[in-house]
Structure 1
C-alpha cells in the first residue's frame, strides 16, 4: 500500500476515537438477550422446495445466496455492519445436522408467526432422517453391525455429527488484497478451461457454486450500502449523515474490490468472517495473524494523517463488539460441551518468514482494544519467541491481569517444529518451506495449523475417564446399565498392573474405532450434502484443484479429534497400580465397591487413600507424570490404528490429534462415575490436557509446568493445553510479572507448548455463584476459551473455583 492509495477514499477512512460510543456498544451487547430467529429456516424451506433436482453443492450455494439476498438488515451505531440474523444478537437454528434438540425444546411452539411455525414443522420433518446425525448413525449400524448410540449415551465418546464441524484460519486476506471481482474472473477462466469430461464434473459444479456465492457476497455488501444511503437521505444530523455515507462507500467498494484503508479492510474482514459463520456456524473460524495483516493499511492511514493509534484502537473495538454478537445454539448438550465458544482466535507476535520478530503495532492495538472491552471473544494467543519484545509482553500481562484469561501463551518454536513434523512433505505440495512453517498460527482454541490452506474436519472427543471406568467394569457402563465396550476381563482376576493396562488399551481402541469410523461417515456425508463453498474459496488449494474442502481440495489437513481426560486416566491408573498391585493396600473388589458407592459412607476412607495417599500428576513426580505420558502415547497409537489411520480423505494424509477440553470435561464428568483419582460421580473431569486435577498440584507452579513437559509430546499433537490459576495481585508487582514470564519461558525452554492464566480471587468466584447479578461482566478462562462466568454451567464454575491457586 502507498499513501496515495490510502487517501483515495479519505471520507471513508477518517475515524475519530469515541470512548462513550464504545461504552454504549458494550452495554448494549451485555444487556440484550439472545433469541432464536427462524428467518433462515423460512428461506431454506423455499429454496429447498424450489431446487429438488440440483446437486447439493449448487443447492447449498443457492441457499446461502438467497439468505444473503433476503435476510433482514439493520445498521446501528457500530462503525461496521453485518449481523448473524435479522435482529440484534439473534441466532439462527441449523437443523441440517440434528433436529432432535429442536423436538425436545419444542421450537415449533416457540415460533411467533404462522410462517415460522410452518417452516419449523417442515424442518423437523425434512431433516428428521436426512440430518447428519440420523444418517451417520444409520450408516454406521449398517456398516459395522452394531448401534453406536450406547457409546454416545454413555459419554464414552462425544461425536461431532450433532453439530457442524470444520474450521481453521480462512484466507480473508485474499479477499481484501485482491477483491472478489478478481477472484471471480480467475474462477470463470478455470471453469471455462475445463474439458467436458466425467472426471471434471465435481470441479465444474464447485466453480459454478463458487461464482454463485461470490456474486451473492458482493450483492450482500451492496444491500448494506443501499440501506446506509437510504438512512443518510433521511438523517438530519450532519455527523451521523457523514458516517452513514462512509458506511455506504465502504460497502460499495469491499469485498468486490481490494481494500484501500483500515476501515475498508476491517469491514471486508468481517463480511468474510460473518459469511463463513452464516454458511456453517460454530466451527472455530480463526483470524490468524490479523494484526499483522492489518498493519500495512494502518500504517498507510497513519502516514496519511487519517488516523492515529487511539483511532485504530477505537476501530478495532467496534470490530470486537461485532465478533461478540456472533453465536449459535444446538441444544443443551452442545451448550454444555462448548459453552458457545466460537474459537475466533487471533495470533499475536510470532516469527516472520525469515525468522525475525513479527510483532506489529496493530498487535498492540488489538491488545489495548481487547483489554478495555474485557469480552470473551476473540480469544488471543501470544506466539512467544525469544525475540518477542519486552514492551509487548508487558501489554500481554496487562490484559491477562484484567482477569479475562488471555492472551494465552503458545510456544512458536514448537509450532514450527510441529508443522515440519506433520506437514513437512506431502505428495501434493512437496517439502514444507521453513518460512511457511514459521508462520504457523493458532486455529480454533489452542491447536496450530498452516494458515489459509489447512482443511480442518472434526472427529469429536473420546472420554478417557469413561474408558477407565469401562475398564474397571469389563466394558459395562454402570450409569446406563448397558454393555458399552468390549469384555476385556474382570479386573478382580488380573494378576498384575500390565493386565489391567492391556484391558484399558482394549477399551481405548474400541472408543477410537467408534469415534473415528462415525466421524469419517459424517465427513463423507458433509462432502455429499452439506458442502461449504465459501469456506473452500477461502482455503488455498480448493480453487486451484477445483475441489471443495470436504472433498480434499485443501493443501493440508489435520483433524480436530480432541482427547479429553488423560490426566484423569493417568492419575486413576497410578492409584490402581500403587494401591492395588504394588502396595496391596486395597483389594480390587474393595475399590470397585467404593467406586460404585461414590466413596460414600464406609468408603470415605478409600476416597482418602485414592485422593490423598497416591502421587498425583502436577507435582514433578516422574512415576505419575510418565503414566500420563503413557496414556497419551496409547491414545495416539489407538488413533493411528483405526482402519490404517489417516482420515476419511486418504489414509496417506498424515494427521494428528488435539488435546484441550473447551467445557466438554464438565459434560463428560456429569456422565462418568467415581474414579480411582478420588473424583466423585458427576464431577467434572480435569480441564485442559496437561492441567492438574484441582487441588492436587501441591508442590507449586514450577513443579506443575515440569510435569507438563513430561506428560506429552507436543510436536506429535496439534494441541496441548494447560491452565494455571494465580492470585489477583500476582501481576501488580515487577517481581510478580517477571515470575510469570520466567515460568512460561521455563516451560517453553523445556519443550512445553501452552500456558494460560486465570488471575482471579477464588472467594470472588464463590460470591459470583451466589450473586450473579453483581458479576455480569466477570470473564474467566475455561479451557481454550474465555467466557462470562455467570453464564457457565455450575459444573464448569465449580471446576474453575476448585483449581489450585498457585503463586509464582
Structure 2
C-alpha cells in the first residue's frame, strides 16, 4: 500500500533518491565559511563595518566549495556534505570550542566534527576575541538584567549567540528584476540622495555594500553554471542535458529576472540560500510562496504538470539541506535541527479576495511527496477559504507529520492593523519561523526575541520576589500574607513590571550589538525601505520594525491561580502555609524523579499497570476500545518515595490536580484566569520600544523551550512537580484537557489572541483512528472552522499514536523518517532530545 495519500500521487524516483540523501546524512561541522569570513575581516580592518560585511560575503561566495549533488535540478549548497552546518564566529564562538568533544554526544541535534575542523576553528577563533556581537551585547546589559538571565526568568540566547534571521524578504523583487535590477535601484537612490546631509556618508557606504553583495550573488550563480558544464562533460546523456540546463538557468538568474518557472525556482533558492550564508539567523521564511511564484507557473508553457511538480519537490528537498549548529543549551529550546522555513499558502489577496491557486495545492503535494520536516508548510484560513483547500490540508495533517499549521486571517489581519500596518499590507501577511505574522518584504520583526518564563515569574511572586534564596524581584509579600486571589494577581503583575523591563533591556542590548557589528547589506537589499532610506534593517531601514518576545506557561499560570482561588480562598480546604510547605518540598517527591502522577483524567500516564491494562483492552476490544480508556478517570500510583512519610504532601498534590478546574475543558472561571495571566504579560511588553524605531509586542509560544524552562521552575500550585515541562504554547497542560478536542479549543479561543500579535501556538494531538475516512477529515475541518470562528489564531495537529512514539524511542533506526510536530515546527522524532520526545508522548491523545 502506498505511503502517499491517494489524492497527492507519487513522487518520482529522483525525488525519492534526493530524500534518501537527507535521511542518510550525518550532520557535520564544516569550516569553510569560518575561515573565509575571518580572512576577509583581517583584510578589511580599515573599512566601514557595512563594507566589511559585504566584502566578507563576496569572499565567501567566491571561494566556498561549489557542490552539485547527484540528481539535483535545483542547485546551491551551503555545505559539501548534506544537512551539515557552517560556523559563524563573528556572532559567538567560545561555546563552540567548549563543546567540541560533546557535539557528537548530545541527547539531540548531534554533529560530528573532525580533528582537522577543530584545528582550523582553533586557528580562527582567537581573531574574534572581543569582536563578537555576543560580547558587545553583554557589555551593554545592566548587571540586574544579566542576573535575570542567569536565573532563567527569561533567555535571549537566540540572537545573543547567533544571527537574527526571522525575516521574509521580497522574493518577488528578485524574481522580477534580478540583482541587476536591484543594483539599478541602488544607483538611482544614490543619485537622488541629498549629498549635503550628514547621513549621506553612511548611506553611501550602505549603497556600495549592497552593490558588492548583489554582484557577489550573481558571481556565485555563475560558479554553479561553470560547475554544471564541467560535470556535463563526464555525465550520462540524460544527466548531461539536465546539467546543461542547470548551467543555462544559473547563467540567467538571479542576475536577471526569471522568464519561466524553472528559473523562478532557482532564482528563489539562490536568494534564500545566500541570506543564510550572510548570517546564521534561522527562520528565513519563504512566506507567501504560492503568490509570488504562481505567475511564473501560470505563464510557463515549457513544462508539463509533472515536470513542474518534480521541480517543486526538488526544491522541497533542498530546504532540508540547510542546517545550523546551536549551543547545547539552545538545542533544548530548538530541538530537531529546525530551520523554521515557514511557507504559507491560501488566505487573501491585497484587495481582499481569496488567494488560493493551483500552486497552493502543488505545495501540499510536494509536502506529501517529500515527507520531511522542512519547509514548515502553513495554511491561511478565512470565511472564503475553499473547502477543497481545507480538506486537502486536513489530508496532509492526517499523514502524521504535524504539518500544516493553520492560521486565522480574521484575527491576524486585525491584530497587525492594530500594530500600525495598513489594511492592504496586513492582508498580505506571511508567517515567519514558528507562528509569527508579518508583512513580507517590509518588516524587521525580531520575532523570537526572548523566551519569558511566566511560570517562574509567578513562582517568584509567591515567594516575595525571591528566586530560590536570592532576592531577585521586588518584595511583593510573603505567600501567607495574601488575603485573596486578587492580591496574588497584583503581586504577579508587579513582578511582571520588573522582569519585562529587564527583558526589554536585554533585547535592546542585543539589538544594538547587531546594528553595530553585524549589519546585513545583502538581506537589506530585499527589504523595503532600506534602499530608499540608505540603511540596513539592523539600523532601522525596514518599513515596519518590531521586537517580539514570547511568554511561556500560560496554562500553568491559569491552573495555579485557579487551584489557589478554589482550594484556599473559596473553599478553605487548604491554607497558604500548607500550600507553601508542599511547594517548597516538591510534594515530597525528590526533584528529578520520574513523575508517576502528572495528570488528571484524560492524559497518558507513566505507569506500568496502565500499560498492561491498555494492552489487555486492545486484545479484547481492539484499537478503538483502547482509545476509550483514555477517557477513564484512572489516577496512577505515586512513587514509593513520595508515599513514604509524605502522605500529607501527596494528598495536597492530588487535591491540586483533581479538585480544581483546569484550563482546556471549556470552564470559564479557570479560562479567564489564564487569560488574565497572559494579558498581564502582553500589556507589559507593549510599553517598550526598540532601537530601530519600532515597538515591542508579545507572543505566546515556546518553540520547544517549555521543556528547558520547566527545568528551572519549582513545584507549582497546579500540582506540577519541580523541573517538569511547562505547557507548550497556549495549549492546556498535558493530560489536563479531559473533555475532548472541542472543549480544549474553546478554552484556548478565550485567550486574547488579538493582543498577542507576535503569535500564539496551540498544539493538539489525535490518535490516527480519529481521522479515518472522509468522516474523520470533515470532523477535523469542522473543528478548525469552529475554533477560528471563536477567534483562535493558530492550531496544528500531531496525528500519531503513543505506541509508535514509544517504539521510535526504543528503535530509532527503524523510525528515522518519523516526523512530528514539536511546537511551531516539525522535526524528525528520533533527532529530538528525550525530554522533548517525552513531552510529545505525554500530550493528551484526542478522539472525536
Asked if Structure 1 and Structure 2 have the same fold, meaning a TM-score greater than 0.5 normalized by the shorter chain, the answer is yes
Kept after mapping to 1: 8 A contact 2:51/2:205: yes
Aligned counterparts of 1:104 and 1:570: Cα–Cα separation in 2: 40
**Structure 2 residue aligned with 1:451:** 440
Structure 2 residue 56 is the aligned partner of structure 1 residue 63: yes
Distance 1:711 1:391 in 2: 30
2:450 is paired with a residue whose SS is strand
1:708-737: CA deviation from partner (whole Å, max 9, x where unpaired): 121223355221121111110222222222
Q: What is residue 74 of structure 1 aligned with on the other side? A: 67
Q: Secondary structure at the match of 1:695?
A: coil
Q: Tell me the residue number matched to 1:800.
A: 840
Shift of 1:128: 3.8
For residues 224-243 of structure 1, what are the structure 2 equivalents within 5 Å?
A: 224-235=224-235, 237-243=236-242
Aligned position for 2:713 = 672
How far the C-alpha of 1:118 sits from its partner, in A, is 4.8
Alignment of 1:92-107 (within 5 A): 92-106=86-100
Question: Alpha-carbon deviation of 1:131?
Answer: 2.3
Distance 1:48 1:226 in 2: 28
- Structure 1 residues 118 and 771, CA gap change in structure 2 (3 angstroms): closer
Task: Tell me the residue number matched to 2:199.
Answer: 199
Matched, 1:681 2:715: no
- Equivalent in 334, 339, 350 of residue 338 of structure 1: 334
Q: 1:770 & 1:589 partners in 2: Cα distance?
A: 44
Question: Aligned pair 1:775/2:815, yes or no?
Answer: yes
- More divergent stretch after superposition (713-722 vs 167-176): 713-722
Partner of 1:576: helix, strand, or coil? helix
Q: Which residue of 2 aligns with 1:178?
A: 177
Q: Check 1:267–1:637 CA distance in 2 against 1; reply closer, same or farther (3 A cut).
A: same
Checking the alignment, whether the CA contact within 8 Å between 1:617 and 1:692 is kept in structure 2 is yes
For 1:32, the equivalent position in structure 2 comes to 25
Q: Distance in 2 between matches of 1:660 and 1:769?
A: 26
SS in 2 for 1:729: helix
Per the TM alignment, residue 42 of structure 1 is displaced from its structure 2 partner at its CA by 0.9
Gaps of 5+ in 1: 1-16, 425-431
Is 1:747–2:744 an aligned residue pair? no
1:619 to 649, 654, 665: 665
Task: State the partner residue of 1:499.
Answer: 487
CA deviation after TM superposition for structure 1 residue 108, in Å: 12
Deviations 1:614-662 (A, max 9, x none): 1111111111111111111111222123xxx222223xx4442222111
TM-score, normalisation: structure 2: 0.88
Instruction: Give yes or no for the alignment of 1:548 onto 2:545.
Output: no
Give the direction of change, closer, same or farther, for the CA distance of 1:576–1:534 in structure 2 (3 Å limit): same
User: Does the aligned pair in 2 maintain the 1:730–1:737 contact within 8 Å?
Assistant: no
Q: Is the 8 A contact 2:457 2:492 kept in 1?
A: yes
Structure 1 residue 133 displacement after superposition: 2.7
Measured at CA, do residues 464 and 684 of structure 1 come closer, stay the same or move farther in structure 2, by a change above 3 Å?
same
Closer, same or farther in 2 for the Cα pair 1:256/1:199, shift >3 Å? Answer: same
Q: How big is the shift at 1:147? A: 4.3
In structure 2, what is the equivalent of residue 5 of structure 1? none
Indicate the residue corresponding to 1:9 in structure 2: none
Q: Secondary structure at the match of 1:403?
A: coil
The CA distance in 2 between the partners of 1:383 and 1:403, in whole Å, is 20
Tell whether the 8 Å contact from 1:295 to 1:362 is kept in structure 2 after alignment.
yes
Quote the residue 2:119 is aligned against.
117
Q: Give per-residue Cα distances to partners, 1:429-465, cap 9 Å, x unaligned.
A: xxx2x33322222222112111211112242111011
- Worse-matched range after superposition: 262-271 or 767-776: 767-776
Structure 2: runs of 5 or more not aligned: 1-9, 104-111, 590-641
Q: Secondary structure at the match of 2:770?
A: coil
Deviations 1:400-454, CA, capped at 9 Å, x for gaps: 1110111111111222212221124xxxxxxx2x333222222221121112111
Residue 678 of structure 2 is aligned with which of 622, 632, 637? 632
Matching of residues 61-460 of structure 1 within 5 Å: 61-76=54-69, 77-106=71-100, 112=114, 117-123=119-125, 125-141=126-142, 146-159=143-156, 160-194=159-193, 195-235=195-235, 237-301=236-300, 304=301, 306-339=302-335, 340-424=337-421, 432=422, 434-458=423-447, 459-460=449-450
Match of 2:615 in 1: none
Whole-angstrom CA distance in 2 between matches of 1:375 and 1:89: 12
Contact 1:421 1:716 survives alignment (8 Å): no
Counterpart Cα distance in 2 of 1:384 and 1:108: 44
Q: Give the CA deviation at 1:791.
A: 1.0
Q: Does 1:461 align with 2:473?
A: no
The answer to whether the Cα contact below 8 Å between 1:374 and 1:402 also exists between their aligned partners in 2 is no
Alpha carbons of structure 1 residues 487 and 127: separation in structure 2 relative to 1, 3 Å? farther
How many angstroms does 1:470 deviate by? 1.4
1:657 to 673, 692, 698: 698
What is the distance in 1 between the residues matched to 2:498 and 2:127? 33
1: CA distance between counterparts of 2:90 and 2:552? 27
Larger deviation, residues 402-411 vs 456-465? 456-465
- Deviation track 1:122-149 (CA, whole Å, cap 9, x = no partner) reads 32x34343322332222213xxxx2433
Q: Distance in 1 between matches of 2:265 and 2:402?
A: 25
- Work out the CA distance in 1 between the residues paired with 2:128 and 2:578: 49
Q: 2:460 aligns with which of 464, 470, 484?
A: 470
Deviation at 1:547, TM superposition (A): 1.1
Asked if the contact 2:753/2:793 (under 8 Å) is kept, the reply is no
SS at match of 1:563: strand
Query: How far is the alpha carbon of 1:605 from its aligned partner?
Result: 1.2
Q: By how many angstroms is 1:798 displaced?
A: 1.2
Query: Which shows bigger deviation, 327-336 or 112-121?
Result: 112-121
Matched with 1:714 is: 754
**CA distance 1:172–1:31, change in 2 (3 Å):** same
Match of 2:607 in 1: none
Q: How much does 1:582 deviate?
A: 2.4
Distance apart, 1:250 and its partner CA? 0.6
Deviation at 1:98, TM superposition (A): 2.5
Which residue of structure 2 lines up, in the alignment, with residue 738 of structure 1?
A: 778
Question: Is 1:45 aligned to residue 53 of structure 2?
Answer: no
Go from structure 1 to structure 2 and tell me whether the alpha carbon gap of 1:484 and 1:128 turns closer, same or farther (over 3 Å shift).
farther
TM-score (norm 1): 0.92
Checking the alignment, whether the CA contact within 8 Å between 1:422 and 1:655 is kept in structure 2 is: no
Q: Which residue matches 1:533?
A: 521
CA contact (8 A) 2:819 2:829 kept: yes
| Change in CA separation of 1:503 and 1:128 when aligned onto 2, cut-off 3 Å | farther
Deviations 1:566-587 (A, max 9, x none): 2211111222222222222222
Residue 629 of structure 2 corresponds to none
| Cα distance in 2, alignment partners of residues 108 and 630 from structure 1 | 43
Q: CA deviation at 1:114?
A: 6.3
Partners in 2 of 1:209 and 1:226 — Cα distance?
A: 26
- Who is 2:593 aligned against? none
Q: Compared with structure 1, are the counterparts of its residues 385 and 492 closer, same or farther at alpha carbon in structure 2 (3 Å cutoff)?
A: same
Q: 1:461 to 1:108 in 2, by over 3 A?
A: closer
Mapped to 1, the partners of 2:82 and 2:767 lie a distance apart of 37
2:160 and 2:510 in contact (8 A); partners too: yes
Q: Secondary structure at the match of 2:75?
A: coil
Residue 744 (structure 1) shift: 1.0
700 and 667 in structure 1: CA distance in 2 versus 1, 3 angstrom threshold:
same
Number of corresponding residues: 767
Aligned counterparts of 1:260 and 1:147: Cα–Cα separation in 2: 56
- The answer to whether the aligner puts 1:559 opposite 2:599 as a matched pair is no
Contact 2:665–2:737 under 8 Å retained in 1: yes
Q: Whole-Å Cα distance in 2 between the matches of residues 114 and 166 of structure 1? A: 29
Structure-2 change in CA distance of 1:185 and 1:487 (3 Å): same
The structure-2 alpha-carbon separation of the partners of 1:166 and 1:80, relative to structure 1 and needing over 3 Å to count, comes to closer
Check whether the contact 1:566–1:632 (CA below 8 A) recurs between aligned residues: yes
Structure 2 counterpart of 1:608: 654
Q: Could you tell me how far apart the structure 1 residues matched to 2:11 and 2:128 are?
A: 47
In the other structure, the counterpart of 1:763 is 803
Q: For residues 803 and 82 of structure 2, what CA distance do their matches in structure 1 show?
A: 35
